[in-house]
Homo-oligomer: A and B are copies of this chain.
Amino acid sequence: MRRLRLGMVGGGEGAFIGAVHRLAARMDDRWELVAGAFSRDAGRARRSAAALHVAPERAYAGFREMALAEAARPDGIDAVAIVTPNSSHHAIARAFLDAGIHVICDKPLTTTLDDAHDLVRAVAASGLVFALTHNYTGYPMVRQARAMVAAGELGAVRVVQVEYAQDWLSTPLEESGQKQAAWRVDPAQAGPAGSLGDLGTHAHNLAEFVTGLRVESVCAELTAFVPGRRVDDDAQALLRFAGGARGMLWSSQVAPGNENALRLRVYGEKAGLEWAQEHPNQLRVTPLGEAPRILARGAGALSPAAAHATRIPAGHPEGYLEAFAQIYRDAAEQIAARLEGRAPDPAALLVPTVEDGARGIAFVAACVESSQRGGSWIPLEP
């Protein structure tokens, strides 16, 4: 099978997440980057293309032009990666879906629930692959955790504790002109939520991914601790899951000493499990009444889902980029299977979908509403 052809919208010089997407795409040698609308600034777009070995004629000024042009080429891109600020995801994704091109989109899916629902419909109508880069689901031990819950090793889940804490916005960094900070605290670009949209959506997705449960209603308190900040930099929520499990979710950008402290704990009738993103190769599993055991990526009798996402043997750590790459590898498998007219490897089907993304947006919307109402319980819109 040839390498798949990837285009990218966003991710020009100096961008952060675009470079991560490219590296992730390269990791397993299933993709080659051949086109892009890297920046709305023409010079920057051109320089970016050159640095990325993209042919000048496939360095586009805008995403709509790109979608049309690539759709028309016999060697057009197989998929587009969307790595722009949140508020533009919807329009870009629609353009490529409409052009018949598969989409790999950064999270959160959109900034409004209407946009999210529109994309759900568009994907369904198109029959295309839509992969949302909730990249933490690409970690082998996260997939192991999911497999264990699904296999009933925890029994019925009772309690879910999930959090994602950072500290980089403890001060008004946005006022210094730092670009990453600036757009993330601007409601026009980031949407109505700050830490909750940026981090809380990952936490929500992770909790649902691992447990297979759905958050049904929330009671949330969103706070902007840094004076003048217009979106929350800390969000705290109680969660009710369908089926009766209870949970707590915390996202924060003002917790000194936390870098990317995404951490999930799940407790069931028969066992518990704990996973922390900063040491992702281990999974602590605690069967009731037995000694805690530390499962390690690549070691022992792990699930096929974990093995599928593993590149190298135990003890040699894989990291964030490998987990991110897993999304690209699995998306490639899904797309390649369509091109080849075969069923995809079932293990490649765990990639977060547009529906997962829409649930994330519904979660954010419910939390925002709950907080605005002074902390009432709000059901998630279906």
Contacts and interface: CB of A to CB of B under 8 A. Distances in A.
Interface of A: 3, 16, 20, 22-23, 26-29, 52-53, 158-159, 161, 163, 166-167, 170-171, 219, 221, 223, 225, 234, 236-238, 240, 246-248, 250, 252, 254-261, 265, 267-272, 274, 277-281, 284-296, 298-300, 311-322, 374-377
Nearest to A168: B313
A246 B223 contact: yes
Contact of A294 (B246, B294, B311): B294
Contacts of A320: 312, 316-318
A291 B299 contact: yes
B315 A260 contact: yes
B322 A288 contact: no
6 contacts: A236-B238, A259-B296, A259-B315, A261-B315, A289-B300, A290-B300
A286 B252 CA distance: 15
A29 B167 CA distance: 31
Closest 10 CB pairs of A and B: A259-B315, A257-B286, A260-B315, A319-B319, A316-B320, A317-B319, A256-B272, A291-B293, A256-B288, A257-B272
Contacts of A374: 377
A134 to B, nearest CB: 14
Contacts of A258: 272, 286, 315
Interface centre among A53, A163, A271, A319 (most CB of B within 10 A): A319
A296 B300 contact: no
Given A256-B286, A291-B295, 4 more contacts: A260-B313, A278-B315, A278-B317, A281-B319
Contacts of A376: 376
Contact of A236 (B20, B27, B248, B272): B248
A174 B252 CA distance: 39
A259 B314 contact: yes
Nearest to A290: B300
Nearest to A259: B315
Contacts of A377: 374-375
A158 B254 contact: yes
B159 A316 contact: no
A246 to B, nearest CB: 6
Nearest to A235: B246
